[in-house]
Chains A and B, each alone.
Chain A
Amino acid sequence: MTPTLRHLLAYLLGAGLIAGFVYALSVLGLNPISLLEAGLLAMTPLALAAVGECLNEKAGVVNIGLEGILLITAVVGVWMAELPGFGGGMGILGGAVAGGLLGFGLGAISVYGKADQIIAGIGLNVFALGFVPFLFISLWATPGIRVFPAELMVPRILTPFGQFSPITLLAIVLAVLAHLLLHRTVLGFRIQAVGEKPEAADVAGVRVDRLRLLTSTLGGALCGAGGAFLPLGWFGGVVKEISAGRGFIALACVVFAGLEPLLALGAAFLFGFADGLASAVAVTPGVKERVPFYFVNMLPYATTLVVVALVIGRRRFPSTVGRPYARE
């Protein structure tokens, strides 16, 4: 099988699975519009994190800590939104800034500390696992759950086809911009050169360290916006397990997409649909009683595994991805 054929098959299979699910669920009494709404909401954080990580990995840096960034920025976002006079939009911005700082820190450790990037990223995830419950108690004196007033939510846009978040639109626009940046601008070519042949880029006068720091900061910021979106654009509250593996699903999107932002957006929609389906089923009366929610909750993870297992192995990654660059 040629790679393209295999791709096509994977997409077809994914689409078929979704169509089957939609049919099965409409039989059960689930509304396709509400499914689309839920799917797009679930796509948004995945797309933001995945598009940022595409840029980052193109430059040769891997961020396994996306999960931890999502978790921390979800809390930071809510904290910012609750400040007097701030609100949801500022919360998303605050999440992006916090994510950018975390991305910068991890980037600096990778670039200047010559760290093993996978271990450093795992460390960030473990840190978030402990730091977030600490934040809950210290900020709000509650153990692991915070519901904020509904008016702090980022307002949804109402259309005849349902209601959507402006942040979803932002994610789509950013994916397109990232695509253009990578393939149509000098900076984009430099990013790719730094990931592919850092020695050559260095000799040509490109600052490998600074560019990698830039992409990991950018990647962290996009991921942070996604993290703040989870409570402020979607759930309406924050719990200490809010990221629930989405950072790793975003990494799976990146792998699936072979570092192409537009493909990553597609993958985010596919995985987001499974995720949104799970949340839709879990709250729809008449359906939630019939399908054990334990298995519904496995759906996003199972979908991710199946799809990744189908397309992987055919992707080519920058030759230096995950490895630090040292000038000889």
Chain B
Amino acid sequence: MAVPARVRLPLLRPLIEQLATIIFGLVVGALLMLPFGFSPLRAYRSLLAGAFGTIPDLLETLAFATPLMLTALPFSVGVRGGLFNIGAEGQMYLGAIGATMVAGLLPLPAGVHLAAATAAAMLFGAAWALVPALLKIWRGVHEVISTIMFNWMAFWLSTYLAVNFLGEPGRAERTVPALLTARYPVFTEDSTLTAAIFVAVALCVVVYFYLWGTRAGYEIRLAGENPEAARYAGVHAGKAILITFLIGGMAAGLAGASQIIGRPPAWSLYATLGNVVTLGFDGIGVALVGRNHPVGGVLAAILFGALAHGGRLMEYEAGVLSEMVRAINGLIVITLAAPEIWKLVRRRSAR
């Protein structure tokens, strides 16, 4: 299946196209608000003010962007390798569980503890991605179906573990909080941004260098763009599938960790998984707006982080539920799926 994965100079046109798509999503979102008596102008004004109005708001936008740049990776790396990995959601739950286990229950010396909790989360995420990868390699099970089934199993497994083994005594609604030695340092009092964002950006950059700077990365991209040529060149198809899924699982696991050991004030997982749910699905839109490029994903994540944080003020001031932002995300994905729309627009304007 053809995948829109062109990243070429000049960069200006893609930038304009991506921005136009986002504006299109916002316009359709506005049309959906109208029948319910909301004022889209007021909604979007408070959205903008909420996202960028003050310095703490700006930092909060970055805090919202942190998990999103990571949950974009499973999808974007997958697409580069020719796969639709939409299992970020479940892999992220397991990452959150892994982080909670090590950070909350395992007393370790400072420094080591934080690294261990982070590593555990990435390991758990990768482990959860392994089975769909193997099902794809061995049995040809389509990854869209298997990753969704795994998302739902991850949900029930994670709530089971959170409630029965990780619960904080006397507080049924959440797990044990991360010990002080396993928390990413917080930047300021008035935002929830932590140093976890550095780890997130670093992983995105590492994945970029891996895909574009190494032989294995080249093989993955070749397998994605031209499976025939890849086979002819002796690229092992199964290996490419395995590596893309494992990278994605690690990134999603880290995203889960970022919400447990890198996000005040809870420092724990809610029993309903309320502080992580849907972050994985949000990553798909982030990946596509970032043109399935790890670094593009960082920029797109900041944009979606702004929508997510600004959405809270929109809900407060204009009464439009902040989930509307997710609907707009979906509209943007649908628009990005149809590149022909741009050709039609260009043909019209050329006349």
Contact = CB atoms under 8 A, between A and B. Distances in A.
B152 A298 contact: yes
B157 interface: yes
24 contacts: A115-B340, A116-B1, A116-B3, A116-B337, A116-B338, A122-B284, A123-B336, A123-B337, A127-B333, A130-B329, A131-B330, A134-B321, A255-B142, A294-B156, A297-B156, A301-B149, A302-B153, A305-B135, A305-B141, A305-B146, A308-B146, A309-B141, A313-B140, A324-B340
Given A118-B1, A304-B145, A304-B149, A123 B331 contact: yes
Nearest to B326: A130
A28 interface: no
A134 B185 CA distance: 35
A210 interface: no
Contacts of A131: 32, 323-324, 326-327, 330
A295 interface: yes
Interface of B: 1-4, 32, 36, 38, 84, 86, 135, 139-142, 144-146, 148-153, 156-157, 159-160, 278, 281-282, 284-285, 288, 320-321, 323-341
A138 B159 contact: no
B233 to A, nearest CB: 24
| Chief secondary structure at chain B's binding surface | helix
Contact of B141 (A138, A245, A312, A322): A312
A129 B323 CA distance: 8
Interface string A160-200: 00000000000000000000000000000000000000000
B160 A126 contact: no
A248 B149 contact: yes
A139 B38 CA distance: 12
A308 B142 CA distance: 9
| Chief secondary structure at chain A's binding surface | helix
B325 to A, nearest CB: 7
Contacts of B144: 64, 118, 248, 251
Contacts of A114: 338-340
Nearest to B158: A294
Contacts of A292: 160
Contacts, number: 167
Nearest to A113: B338
Interface residues of A, number: 52
Contact of A123 (B4, B36, B333): B333
Interface string A77-121: 000000000000000000000000000000001001111111110
Interface string A120-161: 101111111111011001110000000000000000000000
Nearest to B142: A255
A252 interface: yes
B148 A113 contact: no
Contacts of A298: 152-153, 156-157
Nearest to A116: B337
B138 to A, nearest CB: 8
